[in-house]
Chain A
Amino acid sequence: MAPQLYLITPDNPHLEQFPRLLMSVLSGPEVSALLVRRGKLDDAAYAGLAERLVQIGQAAGAAVLIEDDVDLARRLGADGVHVTTGGTKAISAAVSALKPEGIVGVGNVRSRHDAMSFGELDVDYVMFGPLGGTADPQAGELAQWWAETFEIPAILSDPTAEPGTLGATDAEFIALSDCIWSSPDAAVTLTAFDKASKAKA
């Protein structure tokens, strides 16, 4: 089965222009989920950005996830959270607060032991690899291992991916971030990724 697309917003988006760019990108291939990345934004700025992107993402049929902040996700009517800090405690808290209606995913997996500890907490996916920046050389192998063995979906995040060199993976989702936003035409790049992932399957 071809992996589905999971889109991560850029580290430091232009607050005025980005919503329009996102709208054009989401009008392309089907994106399963959209993660609104916090980056270096303060709480107020992040809340403001997230509020706009939740509407845009949901209108395009994607599940919109907030980074870490369960209360913000609830207040904005987002589809769930992506937990990167706080370890198992934060994940358990998010699961009991949001499930079963909302989505709880985990990232920032530093070891196999981490992955399994998080995976046991009734989460909806486990993400391997960073949200942006330089790629993690081990992420691909970890995601492959996870997808082979566990039933919880794996997301492989490779910020430096290219449509041409998209490796074969059993992960259920591939997460795309900087590789989309740094390209001259984000919508075209995303379409290229979509085609490449379907061709590999």
Chain B
Amino acid sequence: MKLIRAVVCVALSGLCLPALAQGNAADAISSEVFGPRKRIDYAFGAFQRGYFLTALELALPRAEKGDAAAQTLIAEIYARGLGVVQSYERAAGWYQLASRNGDRLATFELGMFYQDGVGVPRNRQRAAELFQAAADAGYIPAKYNLALLHVEGVYVEPNLITAAALMKEAADAELPEALYDYGAMLLEGAGVVPDLAEGARYMKLAAEEGLVDAQIDYATLLYLGQGVEKNVAEAALWYGIAAESGNVVAQNRYAKLLAVGEGTTLDLEEAAMWRALSRRQGLTDPDLDRLLVSIPPEALARAEERARFWPSAPPSAVAEAPPAAVQGPMLPTPTDPANAPSQAVDPNPLPPVTTPSPTNPVAEEQTEVETQDP
């Protein structure tokens, strides 16, 4: 199973604060109609509107007093360098404080820092503990990362069943990577009873979330009719989408479908363009080459030209000025090294510089006189 790297999530959920009692009559009616209001977090409000320095200023006094939401907010500002010089060390410091004060987002982000060794010395054991804590507090991306750690089985107990249960929770919260990984676990029966139909369903959801790996895997399931009804046209569609995002495997497979007109109209030029793009990434496929043997040379040339400028269209031929014709003496065609010119010949030699010869002082005098003339 292909596992996606741990996801960095910077959603600032959980920064809102509990409701407060209100003072005047209007507030009383308002709270009657709309229910108790949440206390306004001015710092977060400024943050949302992009006034990062104001947000920082408002959050700092609260953070010094131990307000976890404000501490997390400051950490985010430093981690992303919003209006301030980016500093992972500072971000780690504030995340650490907020995490101790029970902010699950901060706990998760600090875990990511320890996982990657950003701003703090890399410590995967510590990261695992923090992910566990954030997952216990119900933070979804932490559940996903914890699931991956259970699959890896080094820093937490190796247990596919726990991993699958956590992965399902993350997938049902529609985390794209979790949808894909849980789909893969269902397809392979890793930690769960194998279920092709359910696996394909999760794969489709992940593909719709824009995950390229999921798009390819779902296309393959559609093509083979595994877990879903066989539908080559839709498979071609998904391969096309993944190919457009630059994935080399998808480009190769999409080219094959185009070359034989399976699930899509046959288009050798288009196929050759995708082949050129996948070749550029280092994938050569003899099967695809065989399918494209019959392509007319001009179509191939057009395809190569389009690939060169992909994803933009090549500039029109008018824009290209023909190279200036070289004027000068004809060069002999070299037939063998002995016959080749030993040095480059300038086709447009400059006229020989006329140095004033000492035998002609009159000319010099004349020019001097000319320059002094008003």
Chain A interfacial positions (CB closer than 8 Å to B): 111-113, 115-116, 119-120, 145-146, 148-151
Q: Which residue of A lies closest to B110 (CB)?
A: A149
For A149, give its contact among B60, B63, B87, B93 (CB under 8 Å): B93
Residues of A within 8 A of B107 (CB): none
Q: How long is the Cα–Cα vector from A41 to B94 in the complex, in angstroms?
A: 38
How distant is B184 from chain A, measured CB to nearest CB, in Å?
Answer: 36
10 contacts between A and B (CB under 8 A): A112-B94, A113-B60, A113-B63, A113-B64, A116-B87, A116-B90, A119-B89, A146-B93, A150-B93, A150-B120
Contacts of A149 in B (CB 8 A): 89, 92-93, 96, 120
Complex interface: chain A residues within 8 A of B93 (CB): 112, 115-116, 145-146, 149-150
User: Is residue B277 within 8 Å, beta carbon to beta carbon, of the partner chain?
Assistant: no
Which residues on the A side are within 8 Å of B89 (C-beta)? 116, 119-120, 149-150
CB distance from A128 to the nearest CB of B (A): 13
Closest 9 CB pairs of A and B: A149-B96, A116-B90, A111-B64, A149-B93, A149-B92, A116-B93, A113-B60, A145-B96, A149-B120
Interface size on B (CB < 8 Å)? 14
Return chain B residues, CB-CB under 8 Å to A112: 63-64, 93-94, 97
Chain A nearest CB from B305 CB (Å) reads: 52
Quick check: is B121 within 8 A (CB to CB) of the other chain?
yes
Other than A149-B89, A149-B96, give 5 A-B pairs with Cβ distance below 8 A. Answer: A112-B63, A112-B94, A113-B64, A149-B92, A151-B121
Contact of A120 with B87 at beta-carbon distance under 8 Å, contacts A112-B97, A149-B120, A151-B121 already known:
yes
The answer for the CA separation of A146 and B92 in the assembled complex, in Å, is 10
Interface residues of B (CB under 8 A from A): 60, 63-64, 87, 89-90, 92-94, 96-97, 100, 120-121
Say what secondary structure dominates the interface of chain A.
Answer: helix
What's the minimum C-beta distance from B87 to chain A, rounded to whole angstroms? 7
Q: Which residue of A lies closest to B100 (CB)?
A: A145
Q: Which residues of B contact A111 (CB under 8 A)?
A: 60, 64
Q: How far is the CB of A170 from chain B (nearest CB, A)?
A: 12
> In the complex, A120→B90 CA distance in Å?
9
Name the A residues within 8 Å of B64 (CB-CB): 111-113
Give the shortest distance, in Å, between B93 (CB) and chain A (any CB): 5
The residue of chain A having its C-beta at the shortest distance from the C-beta of B85 within the complex is: A120
Contact B96 A148 (CB under 8 A): yes
Query: For residue B97, which residues in chain A have a CB less than 8 angstroms away from its CB?
Result: 112, 145
Complex: how many Å from CA A151 to CA B87?
14
How far does the alpha carbon of A145 sit from the alpha carbon of B63 in the complex, in Å?
14
Closest to A152 in B: B89
In the assembled complex, the Cα of A149 lies from the Cα of B60 at a distance in Å of 19
In the bound complex, residues from chain B placing their C-beta under 8 Å from that of A145 are 93, 96-97, 100
A113 → chain B, closest Cβ, in Å?
6
Determine the chain B residues whose CB is within 8 A of the CB of A151 once the complex forms. Answer: 121
CA distance A148 to B119 in the complex (A): 12
In the assembly, what is the distance between CA of A80 and CA of B61, in Å? 33
A111 to B94, CA, bound (A): 12
Complex alpha-carbon distance, A120 and B86, angstroms: 12
Please indicate the chain A residues that have their CB under 8 angstroms from the CB of B92 in the complex.
Answer: 149-150
Neighbouring B residues of A113 by C-beta, 8 Å: 60, 63-64
B120 (CB) vs chain A CBs: closest residue: A149
Specify which chain B residues have a CB less than 8 angstroms from the CB of A146 in the assembled complex.
93
Residue in chain A with minimal CB distance to B71: A112
Give the distance in Å from the alpha carbon of A111 to the alpha carbon of B64 in the complex.
Answer: 7
Which chain A positions have C-beta within 8 A of B90? 116, 120
- Closest Cβ of chain A: how far from B211's Cβ, in Å? 34
Task: List the B residue with the shortest CB-CB distance to A148.
Answer: B96
Chain B nearest CB, measured from A142 CB (Å): 10
Q: Nearest chain-A residue to B61 (Cβ)?
A: A111
Kindly state the separation between the CA atoms of A115 and B92 in the bound complex, as whole angstroms. Answer: 13
In the complex, residue of chain A having the shortest beta-carbon distance to the beta carbon of B78: A116
Q: For residue B120, which residues in chain A have a CB less than 8 angstroms away from its CB?
A: 149-150
Residue ID in chain B nearest A146 by CB atoms: B93
Instruction: Give Cα A119 to B89, complex, Å.
Output: 9
User: Which residues of chain A are within 8 angstroms of B60 by Cβ–Cβ distance?
Assistant: 111, 113
How distant is A172 from chain B, measured CB to nearest CB, in Å?
14
Cα–Cα distance between A112 and B96 once the two chains are bound (Å) = 12
Q: Give the complex CA separation of A116 and B75 in angstroms.
A: 12
Chain A hits for B121, CB < 8 A? 151
In the bound complex, how far is the Cα of B98 from the Cα of A145, in angstroms?
A: 11
Give Cα A112–Cα B75 distance, bound, in whole angstroms: 12
Q: In the assembly, what is the distance between CA of A145 and CA of B93, in Å?
A: 8
C-alpha spacing A150/B96, complex, angstroms: 10
Residue from the set A112, A145, A146, A148 with the largest chain B CB neighbour count within 10 Å: A112
Closest-by-CB residue of B relative to A114 is: B64
- Assembled-state Cα–Cα distance A120/B91 (Å): 12
Tell me how far the C-beta of B322 lies from the nearest C-beta in chain A, rounded to whole angstroms.
59
Give, as a whole number of angstroms, the nearest-CB distance from B143 to chain A.
25
In the complex, what residue of chain A is closest to B95 when comparing beta carbons?
A149
Give bound CA distance, A120 to B64, whole Å: 18
Q: Name the A residues within 8 Å of B87 (CB-CB).
A: 116, 120
